[in-house]
A and B are shown apart, each in its own frame.
Chain A
Amino acid sequence: MNFWVVVPMVLALIGLRFLKPGILLWLAAWWGGCFIFLRFGILPPLPSSIIGLFMAILTAALALYGTADADKLSAIGKSLRAFLMERRFAPWLWGSLVVIPLLVGFNAYRQATSEAVAPATGRTIHPAPPSEITFRGKKIDILKASNPFRELEGKDKAAFAGHVAGGRAIYYKNCVFCHGDNMEGDGLYSHGLDPQPANFADPTTIAMLQESYLFWRIAKGGPGLPEESAPWASAMPAWEATLGEDEIWDVILFLYSFTGRKPRAQERAE
C-alpha cells in the first residue's frame, strides 16, 4: 500500500466529514477517493482492467446509496438544482464546464499519444523443465546436475573467483543487452521484448531456482520451452550454439555472485 497517497486521502475524507458536505459532494468525494485508492494507493499498481471492473461496481453501489431512500434522493435533487441554478455556485459550475472537457481532452490526447500495446495474455511464470536435455550431443540430467564449479567456493577461493570473472566477461559480452547492467531485466533491448527479460534481482527468480534449471534455460533458450501453456514467445536465444558447457556454468556463478543470491539447493526427490 502506498501510504503517501492513502493516509492524506483518508484524512481528507475525515476532514470533509466535519464540514458536513451535501450528499452530492460526499458521493463525489467517495467516488474520487475509491478511484485514487485503486489507481495510486495500491502497490504494485493494479492493471486497468481490474480498476475498471471495481469502479463499475463501486459506481453502481454509490448510485444506489444516493437513491436508496426518499430523503437522500431529494437532497441530491436539491443540491443538483442549487449547483446548476444558484449564483454562489456559478464559479464552480463554470469551472467544471472548463475542467471536464479539459479532462476528456487530456484523456483523448493521452490515448492518442500512447504507443500501441500488445494485447494482454496470461502465462505461467516458471515453465516446467524437462528432466534431461541433450547439450551438444551430451545428455545432461536437469533434475540432478549441479554446478561443477560451485564446490570451489569453499575449497579454492582463487579458482572460484576466476570462474566468476569468466562469467562476468561472458555476461557483459552476451547477456547485458537484454538483462541489463543491474540484472533487472531492463537492458537496452528489453523495451522491444514481450515477455520482458527475467529480472535476476527479483527474489522470486533465480533465488528460487536450482542452477541446473538456469543451465537448461540458458542452453535451450526460448525455442526449448515446453509445449504446454504455449505460446511463450520468449526471445531468449539457445546459447548452446555459442557458449560451451563450462562457460554456461561460469555465467551462472556470476549471476548469483552479482545479485548476492543463493541458488536453491538440490533436493533429492524422495
Chain B
Amino acid sequence: MKTALKLLLFTLLVTGFYTYIGQMVPQTEVHPPKTRELRADMTQDELIEAGQEIVGGKGTCLGCHTIGADKPGRFPDLGGVGARAGSRKPGLTDVEYLAESLYDPNAFIVEGYSPGMPQISKSPIGLTDPEILAVIAYLQSLGGEPSVTLQTHLKQARAPK
C-alpha cells in the first residue's frame, strides 16, 4: 500500500510537470476560416479587399508565398505579380495566366521552382469560383490594373451547383 501511494504521488508529480510544460508554450486557438460574402454589387476595391482577405486566410496562400519579401521562399514571391502575369506564358492574358495558375497550378512552373502547389479550387482549401475571381483581382492589383469583376467568366469555372 505504501508503495502504491508513493507511486501515485510520483505519477501525479510527473503528469503535473508535463501539464506545466504544456502551459509554458504560446497558446493559440485556431478557428475555422470565416467565409466572406461576395456580393454581385461589390466595387472593385471591395473585391480586391476580399481577395486579399482570402489570400491571407481561407486560401492559406501566405503559408508558402510571400508578397514583396527580400528573398523568395519556397514558392515564387507574389509582389508585383500583376505586372508580369500578362507576359509569363505566351498567348495568355494576365487574367488567363492567373486563372490557370490557380485552377491548375502545375501547368506552368516559374523557372527555378518545383511544382507542389495544391489545386486550391478543390478540397481541403476549396475556394469557390467567385472567391478565385476575388483572388485574381487582388493579384492583379499587385503592380497591375485590376480588370476582373465577379461577372468575369473564366473557362475553368465550374457549373453552378
| Residues in A lying within 8 Å of B, measured CB to CB | 49, 53, 122, 126, 128-132, 141-143, 208, 226-228, 269-270
Contact = CB atoms under 8 A, between A and B. Distances in A.
Nearest to A269: B80
A132 B143 CA distance: 7
A269 B67 CA distance: 12
B24 interface: yes
A126 B143 contact: no
Given A227-B52, A228-B62, A131 B67 contact: yes
Range of interface residues on chain B?
10 to 19
Nearest to A268: B80
B61 to A, nearest CB: 10
B141 interface: yes
Contacts of B143: 131-132, 141, 143
A147 to B, nearest CB: 18
Contacts of A122: 26
Nearest to B62: A228
Nearest to B110: A270
6 contacts: A49-B24, A128-B69, A132-B141, A142-B68, A226-B67, A269-B77
Contact of A227 (B53, B69, B141): B53
Contacts of B24: 49, 53
B44 interface: no
Nearest to B81: A131
A226 B79 CA distance: 13
B79 A131 contact: yes
Contacts of A141: 143
Contact of A131 (B53, B56, B62, B82): B82
Contacts of A126: 70
Contacts of A208: 70
B137 interface: no
A128 B26 CA distance: 23
A180 to B, nearest CB: 25
B69 A228 contact: no
B89 interface: no
A53 B52 CA distance: 39
A152 B70 CA distance: 26
B80 A131 contact: yes
Nearest to A122: B26
B56 A143 contact: no
Contacts of A53: 24
A244 to B, nearest CB: 25
A270 B84 contact: yes
Given A53-B24, A130-B68, 10 more contacts: A129-B79, A130-B67, A131-B79, A131-B82, A142-B68, A143-B79, A208-B70, A227-B53, A227-B56, A269-B80
B42 to A, nearest CB: 18
Nearest to A127: B68
A226 B56 CA distance: 10
B101 to A, nearest CB: 16
Nearest to B56: A228
B106 interface: no
Contacts of B142: 130-132
Interface string B80-92: 1010100000000
Contacts of B77: 269
Given A143-B79, A143-B143, A128 B52 contact: no
**Listed residue (B56, B68, B70, B77) with the most chain A CB atoms within 10 angstroms of its CB:** B68
A142 B67 CA distance: 12
Contacts of B66: 128
Nearest to B17: A56
